Structure 1
Amino acid sequence: MFIKWIRESQIAAGILTIIRLYVGYSWITAGYGKITEGFNAAGFLQGAVANASGDHPAVQAWWASFLEGIAIPNAGLFSFLVAWGELLVGIGLILGCLTTAAAFFGILMNFSFLFSGTVSTNAQMVLLTIFILIAGFNAGKFGLDRFVIPFVRKLTKGKFSPGESIVS
């Protein structure tokens, strides 16, 4: 019942717009700050790895292995991806353009930050983003998705119906 309401109700679309704008603003300001002030994730990544030891590690060993083996050697790339990813997720959510994709990449970053031992507002952002993801199209109804999604559906020429996998 709640799922149907959040995916179809005009009232839910209005509430989701407010949530979307708040989350989008949070992302866009974080990303803009990183881009304009310069951002280097190397120190953060090394700190996360350091928090993977001790009696009660804040970072799980499997995630620390990923950070040591992939993220730290490519800290420049990860710095770029985080800064621009945050900005683009924020723009997508504020404009309501490809809202579900923006929310997905935003929650992916939030989980990455949480896995790295940073709490801050990430848990709150995850919770709010879950509502956006569950709502799907309705979350961007009062945004550019109203125009973009029908266009995208037209491009695919009805080859896929909602809920159908695009992978065989």
Structure 2
Amino acid sequence: MSSSEVHLRSTIGGVSVEGQLHTLSVWFILALRLMMGLAFLQAGLSKLLGGEFNAAGYLANQPASNGSPLADLFVAMSEMPLFMEFVNVAVPWGQLCIGLGLLVGCLTRLAAFWGAFMMVLFYFGNWDVAHGYINGDFAYMLVFLSVAAFGAGRILGLDATIEQYDVGGQPLVERYPWTRYLLG
């Protein structure tokens, strides 16, 4: 293995996979983080600045019209006023916060998790399998998961600094190992 490659190995459920990444991969991981950050920042800002955002019409109509297997769930959600008040705040502000977190590399794994969660909901809401089950929403979900898995917030991001913050003589992530699920 040359000095410009990194060896990876992982085992899940008794199945192991391994491979080598070239160190140039770090630039692509950074690019994925910044791309998704900008996309979500723009989506959140457009909803917040475009007038009053209301997801009820989308939830009540779009999934039912496209044959989504979760259409009944989406319709039920659209009929709960308290839930809709939450969604109408959570979607634009969530997109904005996810975008900002990814752009500056702060709480990157947390932001990527919620981004992936939103993309799963968009995948089922925008259901269209005419050209197969893989579409842009599904691909973006995988990008978010990749950003989290690779710890993209440590690449020119604030997470690298936050992880090393001194807490009682120890770096934050050593003192509180659970923070690794939020940072990185």
Name the TM tier (shorter chain): 0.7 to 0.9
Q: Which residue identity does 1:95 align to in structure 2?
A: V
Contact 1:24/1:94 (8 A) holds in 2 = yes
Cross-structure match for 1:54? none
- Count matched residues: 154
* More off after superposition, 104-113 vs 118-127: 118-127
Asked whether 1:150 is paired with 2:167, we answer: no
Contact 1:98/1:148 (8 A) holds in 2 = no
1:36-81 CA-to-partner distances (Å, cap 9, x unmatched) read: 1121101100113523xxxxx6311xx3343233344122221110
The SS at the match of 1:142 is: coil
Between the aligned residues of both structures, percent identity stands at 25
With over 3 angstroms needed to count, the CA separation of the structure-2 counterparts of 1:130 and 1:49, relative to structure 1, is closer
Q: Structure 1 or 2: larger strand share?
A: 2
Cross-structure match for 1:109? 118
Specify the structure having the higher radius of gyration (Cα).
Answer: 2
Tell me how far apart the structure 2 counterparts of residues 36 and 139 of structure 1 sit (CA, whole Å): 28
Q: Which residue identity does 2:103 align to in structure 1?
A: I
Structure 2 residue runs of 5 or longer lacking an equivalent are: 1-6, 10-18, 129-134
Q: CA deviation at 1:129?
A: 1.7
Tell me how far apart the structure 1 counterparts of residues 20 and 159 of structure 2 sit (CA, whole Å): 19
Contact 2:61/2:75 (8 A) holds in 1 = no
Cross-structure match for 1:78? 87
The SS at the match of 1:133 is: helix
1:4-25 CA-to-partner distances (Å, cap 9, x unmatched) read: 756xx75333221111111110
Within the candidate set 44, 53, 59, 2:68 is matched to 59
Structure 1 residue runs of 5 or longer lacking an equivalent are: 52-56
Cross-structure match for 1:46? 60
With over 3 angstroms needed to count, the CA separation of the structure-2 counterparts of 1:109 and 1:138, relative to structure 1, is closer
Q: Structure 1 or 2: larger helix share?
A: 1
Contact 1:58/1:116 (8 A) holds in 2 = no
Give the alignment of 1:15-54 within 5 angstroms: 15-38=28-51, 39-51=53-65
Q: Which residue identity does 2:54 align to in structure 1?
A: N
Asked whether 1:68 is paired with 2:85, we answer: no
Using structure 2 for the length normalisation, give the TM-score.
Answer: 0.69
